[in-house]
A and B are shown apart, each in its own frame.
Chain A
């Protein structure tokens, strides 16, 4: 069952088209990675899902309802963490957590205190004295301490250190085990790679690729780095070889998956001294998708 369904959604701000016929769906119980460079429309899409923005056209379904019309009742069943968290400077972190979670319909006290411990957060400090990372933690604890069906995370770890990032990943895995659905927008690709069951890649307001990581790898190239005894003449002419670089006896290239067998055979004919081949990382998927003009 689709928990989130966006069909042909268009949203413009003046002359800017933030969402350009966006299609996406997230099914129940999955962790769905939502990837794209800055300004691609990730946050706009999430704000549409929250009913904060009204679409110009297209249909949006969230948890079986219309997020614009039924915003308040639907919000009982979801928790949201924005990318750039701003808190009320004169409230303490603990107060903010309680305010947000109780407005959402209540929170699990045991989970709250264990999360505070896990994220090493002092709830007695005023929000104005928190760093960006600590503000992020407050919003995360408020969301994670609520038991809901759907979690919307918009670049949730952008201010966290690696230890806290690991804590966040563990928490998301627990949510999945409990059967919750998670939409995780990010440009931290390792995080999505580690957590997501399926991925949608968005660019300029459109989803350009969508599927499991395996699906996406299938249509992309394997990175091969090798050292050979004899000069690697002729490799460049093989079908399916891209981005070839040769430095002395060391070659690196991207190889189409269906040509991999042939290329490896040629390499071994040259006397392989070392060989590293790995599936494309999301960085590489990204670069391939968007070319070189994209800063990840």
Chain B
């Protein structure tokens, strides 16, 4: 009796909380649905006209359906020899990662971020149960995932794909979002900061994605170790099976139970890990613009370094198996060209991996720079600029640290890939070549980071446009030709100007030009920053 009463009261006020979330995100949620759902729909609609004959469909199954790059990025899609399978395969990478990241952002925003800011304290002092925020976060994450899935299914149905497959695909996508909503709800209990919770959730998403990819390339049971694999093995468009949905639901239930249990075992505002006393005085190097910039970003930088090195290593480990895969597939070898054998394929594969990882590392560059905006809005920038630190030094130090770490991350990704490759193949001759290959893409990443510097310096309100640029570049990389972009639109991505190393040979001039562009953008940002008002706290 007592137990049931305390249960019912621990979620009191959920409806109020949900109404608040709806009010706060009345623009944000529609934007996610429009942006993410819209891009998925446009891609789904673009596919059928490209594969309008049985021959073209068969060709896709023969080439893309056996391509290790496709397996790594999108897994092994069922029914790849039908239009439905092709559509699913083309949108999977973007749709799956998109849904997972969306729920992570939205859920953290309304749980840990609110708690960290102290706003949740105000709410908790009203008639609101302990678990109300968690339940509201769950409901919100589920809603968002279902909306995206619904858009996806409707767009599939609208191009005449089979009903069963369209529904199954949508269900798998929604459940993938739901399970990562639960992952995020555990992460917000573990970390006492919103940033940390996002990092944890992001790491779980990345791990699940990479594990599924590696399992798909090697075609083994590893795919069953990842929620991405479960969703995919619902086999939409290829003899649908519903039981993997139970795995997703069971994992969700377990994670929710863990989240609720953790919630009852921590203080409001606290995390599971207790805070330790810190240094009573500052180290010498901390009291410089560069030292402070570095300190404020070192945790993030470390997380990225570990994550990207592992990502590189996992991808690298897959590469050596490619020639073998191609040999076992004569049709594939025909496509690539018999003379080139497996090597050309390996190079194409590496070029794509390098580009993909470079784009991922832009996430660090943009977030490290745009953190300045939060610093400024919180009134911490004025604490620093109220001392003799010059504005050019403050922005310049942040830019310098960001670019330096971005370069280090690039080398680490390349090194991870090189070592993964060497371990997989037993061949240690390509180490420097692979590191160099990754570094060839660095100028593009620097330009994206420098755009963030320029925006923050000159038009701080438009800082988020740097994320928009990154999203644009990412969509272009993931959906590629499918978007059918005109040349000028392709050229917006700085990477489009670089040679696709190692498929093409490296060229000095484009790299140099991009570095100059990055330097000019940084200088423009600093010049703008010296002329404008500093936002107040």
> Which residues of A line the B interface, CB within 8 A?
43, 47, 50-54, 71-73, 75-76, 78, 80, 82, 84-92, 94-105, 123-126, 128-129, 139
Could you pull out 7 A-B pairs where Cβ atoms are within 8 angstroms? A71-B385, A73-B388, A78-B386, A82-B386, A85-B379, A86-B380, A95-B279
Given contacts A72-B389, A103-B389, contact A123 B534 (CB under 8 A): no
Cα separation A54 to B288 with both chains bound (whole Å): 25
B379 pairs with A82, CB closer than 8 A: yes
B295 pairs with A91, CB closer than 8 A: yes
Q: Which residues of A contact B386 (CB under 8 A)?
A: 50, 52, 75, 78, 80, 82
B282 pairs with A52, CB closer than 8 A: no
B390 pairs with A47, CB closer than 8 A: no
Cα separation A78 to B282 with both chains bound (whole Å): 21
Answer whether residue B280 sits at the interface, using C-beta atoms and an 8 A cutoff: yes
B388 pairs with A104, CB closer than 8 A: yes
> Which residues of B line the A interface, CB within 8 A?
116, 192-193, 275, 277-282, 286-289, 292, 295-296, 299, 378-380, 382-391, 531-534, 536-537
Best-surrounded residue of B292, B386, B537 (most CB of chain A within 10 A): B386
B282 pairs with A95, CB closer than 8 A: yes
Q: What distance in Å separates the Cβ of A115 from its nearest Cβ neighbour in chain B?
A: 13
Q: What distance in Å separates the Cβ of A4 from its nearest Cβ neighbour in chain B?
A: 15
In chain A, what residue has the closest Cβ to B385? A52
Q: Which of A52, A85, A88 contacts B534 (CB 8 A)?
A: A52
A47 pairs with B275, CB closer than 8 A: no
Q: What distance in Å separates the Cβ of A93 from its nearest Cβ neighbour in chain B?
A: 8
A126 pairs with B275, CB closer than 8 A: yes
A125 pairs with B277, CB closer than 8 A: yes
Q: Which of A76, A97, A103 contacts B384 (CB 8 A)?
A: A103
B278 pairs with A102, CB closer than 8 A: no
Q: What distance in Å separates the Cβ of B374 from its nearest Cβ neighbour in chain A?
A: 10
Q: Which of A84, A89, A126 contacts B537 (CB 8 A)?
A: A84
Q: Which residues of A contact B532 (CB under 8 A)?
A: 54
Cα separation A86 to B535 with both chains bound (whole Å): 14
In chain A, what residue has the closest Cβ to B289? A103
Q: Which residues of B contact A78 (CB under 8 A)?
A: 386
A53 pairs with B534, CB closer than 8 A: yes
Given contacts A84-B379, A85-B379, contact A99 B277 (CB under 8 A): no
Q: Which residues of B contact A87 (CB under 8 A)?
A: 380, 383
B536 pairs with A43, CB closer than 8 A: yes
B385 pairs with A100, CB closer than 8 A: no
Q: Which residues of A contact B391 (CB under 8 A)?
A: 71
Q: Which residues of A contact B389 (CB under 8 A)?
A: 72, 75, 103
A124 pairs with B286, CB closer than 8 A: no
B280 pairs with A94, CB closer than 8 A: yes
Cα separation A71 to B207 with both chains bound (whole Å): 48
B278 pairs with A95, CB closer than 8 A: yes
A99 pairs with B388, CB closer than 8 A: no
B287 pairs with A98, CB closer than 8 A: yes
Cα separation A19 to B536 with both chains bound (whole Å): 15
A102 pairs with B277, CB closer than 8 A: no
Cα separation A51 to B391 with both chains bound (whole Å): 11
Cα separation A98 to B278 with both chains bound (whole Å): 14
B383 pairs with A95, CB closer than 8 A: no
B299 pairs with A54, CB closer than 8 A: no
Cα separation A154 to B534 with both chains bound (whole Å): 17
B296 pairs with A90, CB closer than 8 A: yes
B287 pairs with A99, CB closer than 8 A: yes
Cα separation A188 to B295 with both chains bound (whole Å): 37
Q: Which residues of B contact A54 (CB under 8 A)?
A: 531-533
Cα separation A18 to B86 with both chains bound (whole Å): 60
Cα separation A73 to B275 with both chains bound (whole Å): 38
Given contacts A95-B279, A123-B281, contact A90 B299 (CB under 8 A): yes
